Structure 1
């Protein structure tokens, strides 16, 4: 397992991050703890959860699993969504952040969180209030670094500007949806993160299971893709372009003697700007398969084929800018 610095921080995280959204739900507590143990045995150190995963049960299981290895763990969790039905039980106001972080710390059985992330933008709360509260948490020692998730590029840039202007702690990372079948962040977010040195830790790197290669053109009757709404719904995934990408992934898997899931994850591991894809697993078998994405290098020709077939169509203003790119003489 290789390690990478998270954004412009000095925090070293494993090239794969273990997501824990299924822990306490489709993954039993025993298998969840076994998964974390195996992850550390293979060199992993980066775990991601959220206070709303299985109504806090995921955090409880993660806390139990890392109790004896807290110093070596890079622990990430999130705040934003409703944890109660009272008016201040959601969002990223100072009140909700302060209440939520203490509740997460109690469930996790620790006195600090390595990476505390805003789960999604809150239109009701000024970003200045959110960042000041997060800055206070870092100053208090309850949080070490801060990040965000599911932001527009302008929201991330505004946040960074507010932090810089007020000398608040900065977001070191963003957690966006990103995979071979979901490359929307290529439009603006990826270039912004490269420019500002913000770490990218993608969620749904397998497209909600679509890129595992288990699916055909027939609508599935089990699994995440049976959802009728959300990012991983069959309606969102079952497009002609996505099936073309899936076929390319299957072809690459056969060529390299890997599984489609390993190919999809390995493509991300070699994508410039990506720090650590967050993979989840419902079973120990899925976990072992996904871990097989690390420790080898995809040939450039195969990587380029996957990149080309999954790329977004040329759009304004990118094609306009490319047309009038300023030429430079050879030096």
Structure 2
């Protein structure tokens, strides 16, 4: 005997069989109605995606790996475990900066030990993804810094079996619908820096503007976390007011800053970002406390980036 019920999600369907509904050749029936309830629930899905930023780094450079986990079910997913085995020649950065928003979940290496620089795996333990609310899915993330060691494109895949969660209040578990894959490209990158004074000749403590231009000559790679310190020669100091200008058009990135104290001979640029093929200019007002010609040099290797790029040659400018 087959009985059909409705299948609208979220509705409790009651199926009742009355004594008069049963007929047979033996004239047998049941003394009382029988019933059963069927609750149709929305199908939950667990998805995982991942990305590297920046996606291209210099050998030894850093990239932030982000794993995003999504739950479309009406119940939270608990006891969430995610294991990511990094590809060959990609390791956890010396300072992992690892964090997660997946509830009280903890991050370890793939075997459950402490997560350290040089590890080749990371695991989320006992995480939670919130339930979907209305049309807004529950989301949590895992982030950590990784290091690409040698040139080449490294494909990092988390298979579906390495992502598993339990529907809260049940013993039912589920895996991610599909594996999560992202590429990290490791290649030789460069950054260029030039500088100059306007005017080049000052009198009696007058102010000159030091302009420094950063250039990203790479055709595909964004450079992030650009930083350098400029130690000016003795007798050259930051003017008061210093009139710091990270970039007139903002191309040095939204987080770019220059810091320094008037009357001192050192300033720091940090937080810069340059898209592929872009350049930006910063400026600072300086003056001299001595007579003569002074040369200001930023040495090779003084400019650094998050993705491991440095300037291969020094840059100098003179002020008289």
Q: Same fold (TM over 0.5)?
A: no
Structure with the largest fraction of helix? 1
TM range (shorter): under 0.3
Report the structure number with the largest CA radius of gyration: 2
TM-score by length of 2: 0.25
